[in-house]
Amino acid sequence: MLLNPGSAQEIAPVKLNPRQTQQFERDGYLFFPNLFRPDEIKLLVDEVPRLYAQRRPENVREKGSDAVRTNFAAHMYSTPFAKLARHPRMVEPIVQLFGEELYMHQFKINGKMAFDGDVWQWHQDYGTWKNDDLMPDARAMNVAIFLDEVNEFNGPLMLIPGSHKLGVIEADHDTLTTSYPLWTINHDTIRKLVERGGIVAPKGPPGSMILFHSCLVHASTSNLSPWNRVSVYLSLCAVSNHIRRFKRPGYIAHRDFTPLKCLPDDCLLAHYDVPLPWRDATPPEELHGELKAA
């Protein structure tokens, strides 16, 4: 589905209409091509090499390669991404769906670099958050923002429409396939889900955005093309639904449940002061997990 709330030159605020809400409830995702303008996306793209070059724990690299697989928590130490984390075009539609304030559960810049980008196996994000973080319910939402053009060759995100309606699906903890462990869904289950709902892979220019349910089953193939497919993935959770276990490091699963306060719509291009508490280094207490529940 191609739901374009504004042109590439003049972006209107995102307020979901009843048809979009119904489509989201049915399919588990919405796609907004050209939601961010090229000059807005350029500020983010120009920041990525600086972040990926750092030897910080937040940079997880591919198995057997120095290419960055994912960068965590850039909104805590990068001004452009700190502003993106508070952008109303991303935050307000989710507040509308949940009817509640949100906090940032997870912030990632996934690399999927040319020739080196590895697979992301079939999984549900809420399955991981439930198992690892004790998030009570699936009142959390994913947002993917394209920093590069996404095409059929560079490992687009694949979604199984309607799979979110099944709730949490049985999964196994895969710690071997890639450098980042996931709770993955077996092949027989995926075959049945695809027979039921098919597969879609939204593709489009930089600045496009996918909003998808945390129980929607998704994956992406390796990137053998000569084109990068860098995307920002933000996971926003209803404040009342915050995680109860701090098993994972704080830079992966955040422990600050303060509600996000949106900046004005022009925040990526204009000057606004944003907190950068991890600018100099990751706090020691955020580097390790705790087994006790909060």
Please determine, for residue 80, whether its predicted confidence score (pLDDT) is greater than 70.
yes
Strand ordering across the sheet containing 120-123: 158-159, 218-220, 120-123, 182-184, 172-174
Would you give the distance in Å from CA 125 to the centre of its chain?
10
pLDDT at 4 over 90: no
Res. 289 pLDDT band, cuts 50 70 90 = confident
Name 184's bridge partners: 123, 172
Predicted pLDDT at 3 = 38
Please report the pLDDT score of residue 293 as a whole number: 52
Amino acid identity, residue 199?
A: I
pLDDT of 200 reads: 98
> Which backbone phi and psi does 254 adopt, to 5 degrees?
-70, 150
Residue with tokens 């009843």: 18
Give the pLDDT mean for 177-200: 87
Per-residue confidence at 1, pLDDT binned at 50, 70, 90?
very low
Backbone torsions φ then ψ of 39, nearest 5 degrees: -70, -30
Cβ atoms of 92 and 262 within 8 Å: the answer is yes
What is the C-alpha to C-alpha distance for residues 56 and 252, in angstroms, rounded to an integer?
Answer: 13
Q: Which residues contact 49 (CB under 8 A, 6 or more apart)?
A: none
Q: What is the pLDDT of residue 242?
A: 98
163 or 111, higher pLDDT? 163
Contacts of 62 (CB under 8 A, 6+ apart): 68, 69, 111, 113, 116, 117, 118, 178, 179
Mean pLDDT confidence for 215-226? 95
Whether pLDDT at 20 is above 90: yes
Report all structural domains of the chain as residue ranges with CATH numbers, in order of start: 22-256 (2.60.120.620)
| CA atoms of 266 and 268, how far apart (whole Å) | 6
| 3 state SS for the chain | CCCCCCCCCCCCCCCCCHHHHHHHHHHCEEEECCCCCHHHHHHHHHHHHHHHHCCCCCEEECCCCCCEEEEECHHHCCHHHHHHCCCHHHHHHHHHHHCCCEEEEEEEEECCCCCCECCEEEECHHHHHHHHHCCCCCCEEEEEEECCCECCCCCCCEECCCHHHHCCCCCEEECCCCCCCEEECCHHHHHHHHHHHCCECCCECCCCEEEEECCCCEEECCECCCCCCCEEEEEEEEHHHCCCECCCCCCCCCCCCCCCCCCCCCCCCCCCCCCCCCCCCCCHHHCCCCCCEC
pLDDT value of residue 11: 53
Lowest mean pLDDT among 156-170, 180-194, 212-226, 259-273: 180-194
Question: φ and ψ at 68, to 5 degrees?
Answer: -75, 125
pLDDT tens-digit map of 243-276: 999 999 999 999 999 999 999 999 999 999 999 9
Predicted confidence (pLDDT) at residue 168 exceeds the cutoff of 70: yes
Q: How far apart are CA 117 and CA 128, in angstroms?
A: 22
pLDDT tens digit sequence for 101-150: 999 999 999 988 899 877 888 999 998 899 899 999 999 999 999 999 99
